[in-house]
Amino acid sequence: MTKKLSALALFLILCNNHAFGQDRGFGLGIIIGEPTGISAKTWLGHSSALDFAVAWSFKGRNSLTLHADYLNHNFRLIKVDKGQLPFYYGIGGRIKFRDNDNLPGENGDTRLGVRIPVGLAYMFENVNLDLFVEIVPFLELVPETNFDLNAAIGVRYFFK
């Protein structure tokens, strides 16, 4: 009986994604790369969150970019001595307002697409900060289909 209870306890511990700090409320900070701007994140539960950004894209024509992603975090994949280093992945959407001011006779255009962010977020043990790095394949769907890749690093402060 003791072996069965021990095995059950070990199974529940291994299956549980919950660890300290991952459901830390709302975070606000910066994202640097493609795009560069303001980043926000709000935790929905123990391992899921919504991530948002209002940023400026310098790739091609200058443009304002807005994105929102649903993220799932795996806290068990990478173990660190202090803090936490979850691997995260998700899906989201992006809208990009391109600037065509330098092209005579052309108006700016709007692009819509799907994002698939993949990244790592280091969460400090005793500080309400996270540092993150991500790579984001995306597929533009409107006005034409185009596949590309974004990458960025960032930092956010979490308000409790």
pLDDT, tens digit only, all 160 positions of the chain: 444 434 433 333 333 333 344 457 999 999 999 999 999 999 999 999 999 999 998 877 789 999 999 999 999 999 999 999 999 999 999 999 987 655 444 556 899 999 999 999 999 999 999 999 999 999 999 999 999 999 999 999 999 7
Chain centroid to Cα 158, Å, comes to 14
- The single-letter code of the amino acid at 109 is D
Our count of domains for the chain comes to 1
pTM greater than 0.85 = no
CA–CA separation, 132 and 149 (whole Å) = 17
**52-79 exposure pattern, b = at least 16 Cβ within 10 A, e = fewer:** bbebebeeebebbbebebebbbebeeee
Cβ-proximal residues to 104 (8 Å cutoff; 6+ apart), any chain: none
* 33-58 tens-digit pLDDT: 999 999 999 999 999 999 999 999 88
Q: What is the CATH number of the domain that holds 92?
A: 2.40.160.20
d(CA 83, CA 80) in angstroms, rounded, equals 7
Evaluated on CA atoms 6, 9, 13, 14, the torsion sign reads positive
Q: Which domain holds residue 111?
A: 2-159
Handedness of CA 10, 12, 17, 21 (dihedral sign): negative
pLDDT for 107? 55
